[in-house]
Each structure stands twice: as C-alpha cells, then as structure tokens.
Chain A
C-alpha cells in the first residue's frame, strides 16, 4: 500500500526553533558552584603554565649543562652567582625549584590526562562489548577485570615498570593497564541498564545496524557516569605516577616529575631545607584539589537522581 505523500514546500531553516544546546546547560549548572569554578580556574591556570613551561621557566632543569652544583640547596629568594633569581630555591643538584616544578607539572598532567584518555577508550570499548554481546565475551572480560582489580594498583604498576623500564611512555602504559578495568566495569553496568530500555528496542525494531545502535544510541547514554569516573581517575593517575616516581621507578632522575622532586627533598625535610620537598608537594596538592573540585561538581550535576 503506497502512502500518498503530497509534496510540501521545504521549511525555511529560520523557522526551526533555536534550542539551547545541552552543553550550554551543562556549563550553566556547573557554574552554579563557586568552588567548582575556582577549581576549574586553577586547573586552567596549571594547564596553561604546564604547556608554556619551556618558554616561561627561568631555567631548563633537564639540561645538565645549565646546572651548577655550587648553587645547590639555596633557600628561596636567593640569587645565583650569575645574578639569576631562584624564587623557590634550588634542590640538591642546583636545579631551580620553580623551573623544576613547572616541568614536573607538565609531566604529571601529561601522564595523568594521557593515561586517563587511553584507559577510558580501552575500558569503554571492552565494557560496551561485554554489555551488548553478553555471554562468554562478557564473562571473559569481566573476569579479567575482576582479577586485575583485586590486586593493588601500585603492585601491578611496580611489576610492569620493573619489566618495562623507565620513560614517560612506559609509565602511561602501566597506568592504562591499571585503570582500564574501572571504566570497563562502569560502562558495562550503565550499558546493561540502558540496553534493556525501550529506545534500544525501538532501534532494533527499526532494523538499524548493530554498530549504529551501540555507538549512536547506547554509548551516549553511558557517558555521564564515565565522565565522573574519568575526572576522579585523572587525580588518581597523577597521584599514582607521583608515588611511583617517589619510589624511584618510572622516570629517570634527569627528568624529574613532581613525585621525584618530593623524593629528592625528603632527606632534607627535617634539616631546615624544606623547600625542596615542600613546593613540589604544594604544587601536587593544588593540582589534585582543583581536579577534585571540578569532579565533585560534575558528579552532582550529572547525577540523574538529583535532577528532576
């Protein structure tokens, strides 16, 4: 039975209503908390500083030729023989603390964000596959995730790094291995709930191809819990990396991250030269705190129950 369709004139685009984008609404709700805005501002500042570190740092702390051991362990505010000011003092190798912190921040943020993004992508793919296809694939993926999650993250990272050696890339691999399981589990539980909803059934009745249903229909509805986990996990990743560096693994001594800087200054902490550990520690604290402030607010506004 052919349905008679009368030709109607095309609607001019201007007559379609302007609908507020959901991103705008998200931004408005986020901005409702001043604390969260503070956290976001700090984060942006830290990111800007980290990105521009090679240009704004007074000294390149990785260039051994620029370091002068005679300048080591100078307190904040002192000057070098050549007249350069050490705003935050120097560490035991004569490195300018401010520069070291800027570069260290760069590494910490890079490692944190990169490993989170990679772990999210991997966990997302595996979790979605497990939820949508079920059966033995689901069981396999989830058992691997369970086994992995039952080991302390540090332990797995330690073993991996001992085997892989040092370097930023290798740390990222270790962190991804440790973290993917959180995302996979989160996505899977969200996807299992969503996959039974009627709009997925409707997509099936409309004979849409499966890949389209999984990526276009299922995935966007599983994102909110994932975003919340991701923002919290960035902080975890940074902390984990700092811990590993503190323990002497992951990054070589000549390219210190914040964790290594803290470790270096540890021995001097009680002998009055606090700045070698203190300022990197402070930088780490501010970074993690601002991430947590942003994550808290995101979690509140993305929680469907709190909305009505």
Chain B
C-alpha cells in the first residue's frame, strides 16, 4: 500500500463538545455538560473502529460530530487528509454524502408517514444519483442488497419488523453511495438472532463495498466481533485504544478491565459478581484529574489531580493511566 492510501480517511483532532454554554444574551448560568474533552481519533479506509463506553461517555455525541449533525466546540476534523474548513461548498456536499449514519432505534429512525420506496430513494433522486423514473429500480436493487424483498417497497415502516427496519435504514444510507458509515448502536434494539443477521450484513457490505465503519456500541461482545480496532471511552475522554484482539487479551486501563470483567458470559455459571463500585458520574461535574479515579480500585494521589495522557504502551496500543508511567 502506498503512503497516500495509508493516510486516514477520517480524522478527528482534539475534539471537545460542551452543551449548555450561555451564548449571546442568555444571562442564566445553565449547567454545562462536558460531553467530550479532547478526543482524537482516526479511521483508515476499509477499517472498522469500534467505539465502546457507557452512558455519559460521549460516544453518541462523537458519532454525531463525525456525521455533521453537531458542531464541535473545539478541535478539527479532516477528511482524506484535508481540514474540513478547506472545502468549498460543492466538496462539502460530496463529503456529507460520503459519511452516513445508521441509527439505533429502528422505530424512530424511519419516517412513519412515508413509504419505504421514498424513504430509501428520496436522497438519491434529490442529489442526482438516480432520476425520478429510475427511482423504484434503484431502490429495488438496494433492498435486495440488504436482504429485503423489493416488492414490499410500497409499504409503510410500521408494517415491518424491527430487524427489517434496520435493514431499510441501512439501504437508505447506502443509497447515496457513502464511503464511511457511523453505526450508532445500530443493533442494540434487536433480538439476539436478528442482531446476528444484521451484523452479518454489516460484515458482508464492508467486503462488497469497501466501507469503513465507526461502530458505536455498549456491547463488548458485538464490538469485539466486528472491529479491527477498539476505542474505549469514559466520561468524554478516550481511556484506551488498541487492536481488538489485543484489547480483549491484554486490557491495560482499569476501566477496560472492569468492563470486560462485567460482561456476562455463557461460560460463567452462577458467578459471584464482584461489581465495580459507585455510580457513573454526571458529565456536568466530572471529577478532577483522571475521571475514573473515584471508582478505580488502583487509584492513588496523582490520579486525583492530574489528567493522565494517552500514551503508547505497546505497538498500536494506547492507554491513559498513570500506572503505566514509571514512578
């Protein structure tokens, strides 16, 4: 692979996002939610990066910043190596179509009053990828690709099951020929057997179409299965990042260890749960220093005051923990 191909397709540098900051003449001091705090992330072509974390970690916010639904408070994003601000209007549009999103809720993510043919085909027609006359054929091809019967395209979303609606959402995203998909908890609302089908679809589409994914989930089992690389987030910061197999085999950060330990497994029978104590803090008032220190069994004095930096502890394996530094 030459050097150009190795440059990341999508890159985020130092992204921060704060909600509720007073703007303009609003005098009231509303609490500021620190959703993201200095996050940097890169995804290469044909790579699947899994983003995992619990409530309040900011993974959904990050997904929405990547897909342009939200504007970051600070930081830069780059597409194919060029900063976003450099693009002119036409390129911006092409880039917007190149990054698409698959949503979590298969019920709320489809317009209940639109027929599926229009849901899937509208954007393609609007952006000139298919003419109005070809729309139905175009939609039929897409539905077949995601494993749905094209003769159903005149139905409304409520006439489909949850798994089928997920597929419709995927077809809708594919209609504009994207290169990058943000999958925001795309299988969380599905039953296990349907989840398996949809995950297989994601894997197949990646091979057929050469897509890259940012796969956001709270389910470690799912993330492990589909990702090349896994990024673990806690309360707005990245705490660890590593190739998937490496992360699960040798987790470094105490939070990652706890997460992996907590995941119920079939093999573990009548286990005695040893829970990690404490509640997940609110992003309104994150703890100082390392965000995880109130719940960390290995915390010491430095953790309370100083934010740990993300350091490379092994090739491709980054972790933000003071324990990694030689005292």
**Is the pair A199, B109 in contact by a Cβ cutoff of 8 Å?**
yes
A166 to B64, CA, bound (A): 57
Cβ contact within 8 Å between A5 and B141? yes
A1-B210, A3-B177 are known contacts. Are A22 and B111 too (CB-CB below 8 A)? no
Q: Does A204 contact B (CB under 8 A)?
A: yes
* A93 at the B interface (CB under 8 A): no
Q: Can you offer 19 A-B residue contacts whose CB atoms are under 8 A?
A: A1-B209, A1-B210, A5-B141, A8-B140, A11-B137, A11-B150, A17-B151, A17-B154, A17-B155, A197-B109, A198-B108, A198-B109, A199-B108, A199-B111, A199-B112, A202-B101, A205-B96, A205-B100, A206-B172
Is B97 in contact with chain A by the CB < 8 A criterion? yes
A1 touches B155 (CB 8 A): no
Residues of B near any A CB (own CB < 8 A) = 64, 67-69, 93, 96-97, 99-101, 103-105, 108-115, 122-123, 126-127, 136-137, 140-141, 150-156, 159, 169, 172, 176-177, 179, 209-210
A15-B151, A17-B151 known; A202 vs B172 contact (CB < 8 Å): yes
Q: How many A-B residue pairs have CB under 8 A?
A: 90
Least CB distance from B158 to A in Å reads: 10
Interfacial chain A residues near B103, Cβ < 8 Å: 198, 201-202
Size bin of chain A's contact surface:
20 to 34
| Chain A residues within 8 Å of B, Cβ to Cβ | 1, 3, 5, 8, 10-11, 15-19, 22, 197-199, 201-209, 212, 216-217, 220-221
Q: Whole-angstrom distance between the alpha carbons of A10 and B134 in the complex?
A: 9
**Interchain CB contact (< 8 A) of A208 among B64, B68, B105, B122:** B122
Do residues B127 and A8 form an inter-chain contact, with CB atoms below 8 A?
no
Contact for B97 among A16, A17, A199, A207, CB less than 8 A: A207
A18 vs B169: C-alpha distance in the bound complex, in angstroms? 22
CA separation between A69 and B117, bound complex, in Å? 68
Report the minimal beta-carbon distance from B127 to chain A, rounded to whole angstroms.
7
Judge whether A208 and B126 touch: CB under 8 Å: yes
Chain A hits for B96, CB < 8 A = 205, 207
Q: Which chain B positions have C-beta within 8 A of A206?
A: 97, 100, 122-123, 172, 176
